Amino acid sequence: MSKQILVTGGTGYIGSHTVVELQQEGYDVVVVDNLSNSNIEVLDNIAKITGKKPQFEQFDLADRAKTEAFFEKYPNVEAIIHFAASKAVGESVEKPLLYYRNNLVSLMNLMDCMGKYDVKNFVFSSSCTVYGQPEKLPVTEATPRQDAESPYGNTKKVCEDIMSDTMKANTGLKSIALRYFNPIGAHESALIGELPNGVPNNLVPFITQTAAGLRDELKVFGDDYNTPDGSCMRDFINVVDLAKAHVVAIERLLNDKNKENYEIFNLGTGNGSSVLELINAFEKSTGVKLNYSIVGRRAGDIEKIWAETSYANNELGWKAEKGLEETLLSAWNWEKKVRGIK
């Protein structure tokens, strides 16, 4: 019988790509999502790619009674991948309590249920945001975390601490925190991808929406940073590569290959690319000219960050494989599909 995995936030951007990879590897997936930042149609599109629609339960994981009722109904869940969270940095500054309640309470409810319903394995979506602006690049998993720039960023730090303390107290449980760098792109089928609500905050959706004519121009936030071309640098990682790392992390836990019962891995490519390089790569791979202008810095932005990936590469036997141009083309193909552009 195939192993059953609970994917929270499985209709969201990274979750949906991970459901595809899990199903393609033969796992039986149950998605929980409250659809606060995603659409139910995603399930049909997952089915178009994989030939199978995952089971689905719609509820809020911050609701303890509903979360317990879920585990009563699904006693065979062997592992949890926890994507569900609120993730808009700016909104978290306006509504900190919403972010702390949603992100922390959901995690605590799930961790309680692991003990109560004997689910031993847990994978969590953390973020390179926990490093702030590191003094030394690239960042390893041992690079010290810094004070968060936003309530959202702080939820990731506190969630990591909750996991770490819970694992110390419950040595029969196992968990992995994956620190994502900047996930971009879409599935090659263009059937699933990133669909932000309203005006995108993140760079790549803003680029593709500008190219599609939904936005007049992209504003590049600053060209006076201490980087080769003056724009900020990030480690942009293809979302399908990222999704595959979750399958590997789950297998590590299910097969007892983990070395500690709480482990942390960076998920990036190891390469820093600047905002201007990304724009050039987009134009080159898609043949679309992008309207953009340079404006002042965005408050709270860090100058540059990219991952040291050797620990994840060696320990997990996983490596990001897709290049920037291929990834940006996938983002554009998805945007065209969504907007009905030929």
Binding site for ligand NAD (CB under 6 A): 9, 11-15, 32-38, 60-62, 83-87, 102, 106, 125, 127, 180, 182-183
Among 60, 68, 301, 325, binds ligand WQD (CB under 6 A): 301
Among 298, 310, 321, 339, binds ligand WQD (CB under 6 A): 298
203-211 and 275-286 are packed helices; what angle lies between their axes, rounded to 10 degrees?
40
- Verify binding: residue 234, ligand WQD, rule CB under 6 A: yes
**Which of the 8 DSSP states describes residue 38?**
S
Distance CA 94, CA 19 (A): 32
In whole angstroms, what separates CA 327 from the centre of its chain?
Answer: 15
Q: How far is the CB of 218 from ligand WQD (least distance, A)?
A: 6
Distance CA 245, CA 248 (A): 5
Other CB atoms within 10 A of residue 303 CB: 14
Distance CA 25, CA 251 (A): 11
- Verify binding: residue 182, ligand WQD, rule CB under 6 A: yes
Distance CA 120, CA 113 (A): 10
Q: Which stretch binds ligand WQD (CB under 6 A): 45-53, 201-209, 265-273, 331-339?
A: 201-209
Binds 275: which of ligand NAD, ligand WQD, none (CB < 5-8 Å by kind): ligand WQD
Binds 234: which of ligand WQD, ligand NAD, none (CB < 5-8 Å by kind): ligand WQD
Among 64, 219, 319, 336, binds ligand WQD (CB under 6 A): 219
Q: Which of 152, 180, 225, 262 is catalytic?
A: 152
Pick from 133, 234, 148, 243: which is nearest to 186 by CA? Answer: 243
The backbone torsions φ and ψ at residue 177, rounded to the nearest 5 degrees and listed phi first, read: -100, 125
| Site map 134..173 versus ligand WQD, x via CB under 6 A | -------------------x--------------------
Binds 203: which of ligand NAD, ligand WQD, none (CB < 5-8 Å by kind): ligand WQD
Nearer to ligand WQD, 54 or 193 (CB): 193
Residues forming a β-bridge with 56? 31
Binds 125: which of ligand WQD, ligand NAD, none (CB < 5-8 Å by kind): ligand NAD
Long-range contacts, 84-87 (Cβ 8 Å, 24+) = 84/8, 84/9, 84/12, 84/15, 84/32, 84/33, 84/34, 85/9, 85/125, 85/155, 86/36, 86/37, 86/152, 87/37, 87/152
Catalytic: 152?
A: yes
Among 20, 139, 177, 218, binds ligand WQD (CB under 6 A): 218
Q: How far is the CB of 158 from ligand WQD (least distance, A)?
A: 14
Structure tokens at 229: 């071309």
Identify the burial level of 4 via C-beta atoms within 10 angstroms of its C-beta, where 0-12 means exposed, 13-18 middle and 19 or more buried: middle
Point out which residues bind ligand WQD (CB under 6 A): 87, 89, 127, 129, 153, 182, 201-203, 206, 218-221, 232, 234, 275, 298, 301
**Active-site annotation, residues:** 152
